[in-house]
């Protein structure tokens, strides 16, 4: 059972006060009663002695007069308010203040009474006992009655008896008074000890209350110590503790917020695992990587979430104490992404049972770029080697065979020139690409009118258009300077796209050019009715040297760099280029952001060429 401290302190005080007061009362009562009894005894003895002197004469007569003796006993009894009994030496009762007449004569022999015997043998007798005559407890004092000196013969015994009820009544009153005094003292000590106990326990209860509040994270209001003692010291100490905990919580919160912000901002996926492999934390990047929400995974084991045997093995090793380990792993549904995974122990050298933090760094783009670079080097070498081999072959043929006729020599030299031109074209395109990429070509920001620009570009290609009898549909809105850019470079973009459209569209096809404002962009489309691009090649045709059909491209004089240049130039204008093809025909779409400081106006021109 839980007993409040106040009641414990109170009970302690009360036990001490009760026992102390009880002992003191008992001792006082003992002393009072004993002294009182002694006093009464002494008085009774003295009165007995006096009575013995008075009875000496009547008893000393040769024939004692029993009536006289009894009357004297009655008178004396009346005077001293006690029973007076006169007994002869042989024990016969001669007079008694309580009895007279026949009753007196019938009284039994009193020699058996202890006080009478003591009076005869020792000169004085005292006893407290139940009187057989009157049936109550009496204090008896007996002394011998002697004949006058010198004879001093024992004539009998006179006994004075006081009913004890009288004494007990007096003692009862004394006890009652004492009990009342003790009860008052006890009540007073109860009240006092209650107040004292409360003055000690109340501040303690307040502190316990404050401590509970602090446990729940409420550090205010603080404790206000009232007194100047150990209890108030405790209050001050608790206040200091609260302030220090509050500070620590604040700084922990700050650290936590910083950590959360860092984790949110990180591009790398972060996964924290407890020592038993249960998930403790996933940052948003990690959630995106595994396509699940952290909250639904917390406290699940990592192998329930990650189903990649190699990664699971790596995590198991990290949990077993492999600190600072790193590995490269492909994850996710197709297209698989490549991650560099770092594991580091949370133990910081304490023990290996604290769990691990795993950082997933997405290196797919890095690996892809590496691959692109390798492919590029291989492609460049290959592209350069083909015309060089041809040039070398024809030069050797000319050198080794001086008898080659003039016409054949002319044809060889033309082939050499074509391949040299091709080499030149490739190198020019490569240099251009590399310059665009490294930002060496400054892009002007001037209003570009699309209709005249397309006219000029189509004029450059008119020879091919006529040869293949293509129909050109020009559907270009007048954008009145809404497009800002570098006219020469944009001309190159359109030239490359139109050149491709002409190249990959059979005779009598249609090439449609469109340009219009669409929401916040200017969208330009170049569409043909040509051979189209297979869907599998669509994502790659903007890569350098990528061609759907290498032989055909080369035959048509392509370098495989045209679309790569288009993409880079468009992006340098903060635009985007997309391609669509559905088996027959291709559609290239370029979108440029609108120059906002110009007014919109539109007019449309449609023209046929062919
Ligand atoms: P190329 O010099 O070979 O034309 P590009 O980079 O300009 O190189 O084009 C890459 C490849 O994309 C071409 O080889 C061709 O296979 C395909 N391509 C480009 N434009 C078209 C088009 N309009 N129709 C069909 N295929 C095209």
Predicted local distance difference test score (pLDDT) of residue 597: 55
Of 500, 534, 585, the residue with max ligand 1 atoms within 8 A of its CB, to mutate for a pocket test, comes to 500
Helix H or strand E segment including 490: helix 487-503
DSSP-derived letter for residue 523 is E
Q: Is 560 in the pocket of ligand 1 (CB under 6 A)?
A: yes
Lowest mean pLDDT among 82-86, 155-159, 171-175, 410-414: 171-175
**Ligand 1 atom 8: residue of nearest CA:** 560
Q: Is the pLDDT of residue 335 over 80?
A: no
Q: Is 504 in the pocket of ligand 1 (CB under 6 A)?
A: yes
**Ligand 1 atom 2: residue of nearest CA:** 558
- Confidence at 350, pLDDT banded by 50, 70, 90: low
pTM: 0.51
Lowest mean pLDDT among 48-62, 127-141, 253-267: 127-141
Please state, in angstroms and rounded to a whole number, the distance separating the CA atoms of residues 147 and 139: 26
Q: Is 530 in the pocket of ligand 1 (CB under 6 A)?
A: yes
Lowest mean pLDDT among 60-64, 143-147, 362-366: 60-64
Question: Average pLDDT of 485-496?
Answer: 95
Kindly state the tokens that stand for 585.
Answer: 């025909």
Q: Is the pLDDT of residue 599 over 70?
A: no
Predicted local distance difference test score (pLDDT) of residue 606: 38
Kindly state the tokens that stand for 328.
Answer: 């490269």
Spacing, Cα 507 to ligand 1 middle (Å): 17
Predicted local distance difference test score (pLDDT) of residue 304: 84
**Is residue 112 helix, strand or coil?**
coil
Q: Residues 478, 451: contact at Cβ < 8 Å?
A: yes
Q: Is 345 in the pocket of ligand 1 (CB under 6 A)?
A: no
Predicted local distance difference test score (pLDDT) of residue 529: 96
- Confidence at 511, pLDDT banded by 50, 70, 90: very high
Kindly state the tokens that stand for 219.
Answer: 């550090």
Q: What is the pLDDT of residues 13-53, one digit of tens each?
A: 889 888 998 898 899 888 988 898 899 899 999 999 999 99
Please state, in angstroms and rounded to a whole number, the distance separating the CA atoms of residues 262 and 6: 53
> Would you state the torsion angle of the CA atoms of residues 460, 463, 464, 466, taken in this order, to the nearest 10 degrees?
130
Give Cα separations from 610 to 396, 455, 458, 463, 507 (angstroms): 44, 13, 11, 10, 11
Q: Residues 500, 553: contact at Cβ < 8 Å?
A: no
- Confidence at 1, pLDDT banded by 50, 70, 90: low
- Confidence at 323, pLDDT banded by 50, 70, 90: low
Q: Is the bond preceding residue 292 a cis peptide, omega within 30 degrees?
A: no
Q: Is the pLDDT of residue 226 over 90?
A: no
Please state, in angstroms and rounded to a whole number, the distance separating the CA atoms of residues 140 and 160: 6
Question: Average pLDDT of 158-174?
Answer: 86
Q: Half-sphere exposure of residue 276, counting CA atoms within 13 Å on the CB side?
A: 4
Q: Is 579 in the pocket of ligand 1 (CB under 6 A)?
A: no
Per residue in 501-519, is it b (16+ CB within 10 Å) or e — as a string? Answer: bbbbbeeebbbbbbbbbee
């Amino acid at each position: 059972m839980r007993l409040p401290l106040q009641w414990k302190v109170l009970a302690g005080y009360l036990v001490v006060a009760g026992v102390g007061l009880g002992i003191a009362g008992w001792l006082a009562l003992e002393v009072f009663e004993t002294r009182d009894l002694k006093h009464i005894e002494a008085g009774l003895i003295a009165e007995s002695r006096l009575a013995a002197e008075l009875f000496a004469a009547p008893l000393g007569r040769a024939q004692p007069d029993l009536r006289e003796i009894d009357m004297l006993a009655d008178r004396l009894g009346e005077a001293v308010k006690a029973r007076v009994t006169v007994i002869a030496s042989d024990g016969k009762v001669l007079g008694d203040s309580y009895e007279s007449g026949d009753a007196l004569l019938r009284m039994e022999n009193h020699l058996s009474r202890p006080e009478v015997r003591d009076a005869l043998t020792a000169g004085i007798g005292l006893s407290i006992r139940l009187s057989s005559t009157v049936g109550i407890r009496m204090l008896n004092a007996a002394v011998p009655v002697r004949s006058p000196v010198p004879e001093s013969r024992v004539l009998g015994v006179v006994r004075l008896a006081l009913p004890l009820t009288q004494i007990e009544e007096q003692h009862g009153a004394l006890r009652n008074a004492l009990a009342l005094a003790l009860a008052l003292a006890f009540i007073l000590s109860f009240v006092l000890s209650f107040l004292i106990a409360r003055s000690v326990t109340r501040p303690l209860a307040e502190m316990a209350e404050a401590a509970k509040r602090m446990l729940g994270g409420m550090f205010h209001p603080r404790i206000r110590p009232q007194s100047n003692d150990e209890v108030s010291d405790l209050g001050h100490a608790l206040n200091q503790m609260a302030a220090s905990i509050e500070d620590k919580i604040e700084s922990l919160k700050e650290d936590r917020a910083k950590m959360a912000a860092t984790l949110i901002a990180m591009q790398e996926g972060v996964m924290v695992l407890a020592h038993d492999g249960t998930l403790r934390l996933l940052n948003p990047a990690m959630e995106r990587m595994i396509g699940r929400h952290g909250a639904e995974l917390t406290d699940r084991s990592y192998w329930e979430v990650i189903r990649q045997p190699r990664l699971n093995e790596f995590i198991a090793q990290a949990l077993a104490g492999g600190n600072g380990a790193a590995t490269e792993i492909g994850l996710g549904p197709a297209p698989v992404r490549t991650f560099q995974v770092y594991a580091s122990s949370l133990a910081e050298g304490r023990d290996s049972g604290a769990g691990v933090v795993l950082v997933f760094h997405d290196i797919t783009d890095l690996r892809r770029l590496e691959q692109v670079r390798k492919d590029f080097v291989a492609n460049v070498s290959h592209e350069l080697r083909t015309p060089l081999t041809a040039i070398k072959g024809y030069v050797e043929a000319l050198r080794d065979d001086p008898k080659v006729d003039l016409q054949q020599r002319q044809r060889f030299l033309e082939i050499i020139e074509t391949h040299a031109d091709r080499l030149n074209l490739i190198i020019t395109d490569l240099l251009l690409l590399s310059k665009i990429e490294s930002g060496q070509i400054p892009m002007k920001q001037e209003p570009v009118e699309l209709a005249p620009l397309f006219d000029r570009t189509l004029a450059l290609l008119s020879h091919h258009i006529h040869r293949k009898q293509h129909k050109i549909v020009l559907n270009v809105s007048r954008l009145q300077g809404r497009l800002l850019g570098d006219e020469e470079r944009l001309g190159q973009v359109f030239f490359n796209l139109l050149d491709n459209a002409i190249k990959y569209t059979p005779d009598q096809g249609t090439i449609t050019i469109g340009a219009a404002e669409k929401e916040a962009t200017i969208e330009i489309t170049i569409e043909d009715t040509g051979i189209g691009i297979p869907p599998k090649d669509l994502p790659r045709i903007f890569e350098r040297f990528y061609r759907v059909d290498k032989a055909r491209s080369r035959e048509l004089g392509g370098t495989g760099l045209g679309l790569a240049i288009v993409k880079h130039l468009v992006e340098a204008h903060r635009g985007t280029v997309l391609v669509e093809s559905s088996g027959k025909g291709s559609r290239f779409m370029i979108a440029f952001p609108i120059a906002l400081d110009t007014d919109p106006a539109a007019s449309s021109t449609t023209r046929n060429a062919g």
